[in-house]
Structure 1
Amino acid sequence: MLGQCYNIKTDKSELLSDVRSRLWFTYRKKFSPIGGTGPSSDAGWGCMLRCGQMILGQALVCRHLGREWRWVPEGEQPAEYHRILHCFLDRKDSCYSIHQMAQMGVGEGKSVGEWYGPNTVAQVLKKLALFDEWNSLAVYVSMDNTVVIEDIKKQCLQADRESRPGRPCTSGESSEQGCSSRPPACPFSQPHAQSPSRWKPLLLVIPLRMGINSINPVYIQALKECFKMPQSCGVLGGKPNLAYYFIGFIGDELIYLDPHNTQPAVDSESGTLVDDLSYHCQRTPHRMKITSLDPSVALGFFCRSEEDFDSWCNLVQQEILKKRNLRMFELVEKHPSHWPPFVPPTKPEVQTTGAEFIESTDQLFESEEEFEILNV
Structure 2
Amino acid sequence: MDIRLCPNVKVKDDVTVKTKQFVSDWLLTMDEIIAACMTYEGALSEPEDFPKSEEPVWILGRRYSTQTDLAQLRADVQSRLWLTYRRNFAQIGDSNFTSDKGWGCMLRCGQMVLAEALVRRHLGRDWVWTASTADKTYLRILSMFEDHRSATFSLHIMAQLGVDEGKPIGEWYGPNTVAQVIRKLTPFDEWNNFSVNVSLDNILIMDEIKCSCQTEGERSWRPLLLFIPLRLGLSEMNPIYYSGIKKCFKMPQSLGLIGGKPNHASYFIGFMGDEIVYVDPHTTQDSGSVDKKTTEAEVELDKSYHCSFAQRMPLEHLDPSLALCFYCGTEKEYDDLCNRMRQELIDSEKTPLFELVSTRPDYMKDDNSTEGATGMCMELEDHHFESEDDEEFEVLQ
Structure 2: tracts of 5 or more residues without a match: 1-58, 385-397
- The corresponding residue for 2:316 is 291
- The corresponding residue for 2:114 is 56
How big is the shift at 1:150? Answer: 1.2
- The corresponding residue for 2:204 is 147
- The corresponding residue for 1:82 is 139
- The corresponding residue for 2:249 is 227
Please say if 1:99 is aligned against 2:156: yes
| Post-superposition CA distance 1:144-174 (Å, at most 9, x none) | 0111111111110033xxxxxxxxxxxxxxx
Contact 2:147/2:156 (8 A) holds in 1 = yes
Contact 2:95/2:169 (8 A) holds in 1 = no
350, 356, 365: which one pairs with 2:378? 365
- The corresponding residue for 2:264 is 242
Q: Which amino acid aligns with 2:335?
A: D
129, 132, 137: which one pairs with 2:186? 129
Contact 1:53/1:88 (8 A) holds in 2 = yes
Aligned residues: 316
Q: Find the residue that maps to 2:188 and give its secondary structure.
A: coil
Q: Distance in 2 between matches of 1:108 and 1:224?
A: 33
Q: CA RMSD in A?
A: 2.0
Contact 2:64/2:70 (8 A) holds in 1 = yes
Q: Which amino acid aligns with 2:202?
A: N
Q: Distance in 2 between matches of 1:363 and 1:207?
A: 14
Q: Aligned residues: percent identity?
A: 49
Q: Which amino acid aligns with 1:251?
A: G
How big is the shift at 1:81? Answer: 0.7
Q: Distance in 2 between matches of 1:83 and 1:148?
A: 34
How big is the shift at 1:80? Answer: 1.1
Q: Distance in 2 between matches of 1:147 and 1:109?
A: 27
- The corresponding residue for 1:218 is 240
Q: Distance in 2 between matches of 1:48 and 1:244?
A: 7
| Post-superposition CA distance 1:82-109 (Å, at most 9, x none) | 1111110000111110000101012332
Aligned residue runs from structure 1 range 151-190, under 5 A: 151-159=208-216
Q: Distance in 2 between matches of 1:225 and 1:121?
A: 23
Q: Find the residue that maps to 1:34 and give its secondary structure.
A: coil
Please say if 1:65 is aligned against 2:123: yes
Please say if 1:320 is aligned against 2:333: no
User: TM-score normalised to the size of structure 2?
Assistant: 0.76
Q: Find the residue that maps to 1:324 and give its secondary structure.
A: coil
Q: Find the residue that maps to 1:144 and give its secondary structure.
A: coil
Q: Find the residue that maps to 2:73 and give its secondary structure.
A: helix
Q: Distance in 2 between matches of 1:266 and 1:15?
A: 29
Structure number with larger C-alpha Rg:
2
Q: Which amino acid aligns with 1:301?
A: F
Q: Distance in 2 between matches of 1:363 and 1:107?
A: 17
- The corresponding residue for 1:258 is 280
Q: Which amino acid aligns with 1:277?
A: K
Q: Find the residue that maps to 1:35 and give its secondary structure.
A: coil
- The corresponding residue for 1:24 is 82
| Post-superposition CA distance 1:296-325 (Å, at most 9, x none) | 000000000000000000101111101112
- The corresponding residue for 1:198 is 220
Q: Which amino acid aligns with 1:276?
A: D
Q: Distance in 2 between matches of 1:327 and 1:33?
A: 44
Please say if 1:279 is aligned against 2:305: yes
User: TM-score normalised to the size of structure 1?
Assistant: 0.80
Structure 1: tracts of 5 or more residues without a match: 160-194, 345-361
Q: Which amino acid aligns with 1:226?
A: C
- The corresponding residue for 2:355 is 330
Q: Find the residue that maps to 1:254 and give its secondary structure.
A: strand
Q: Which amino acid aligns with 1:109?
A: G
Contact 1:234/1:245 (8 A) holds in 2 = yes
Q: Which amino acid aligns with 1:11?
A: D
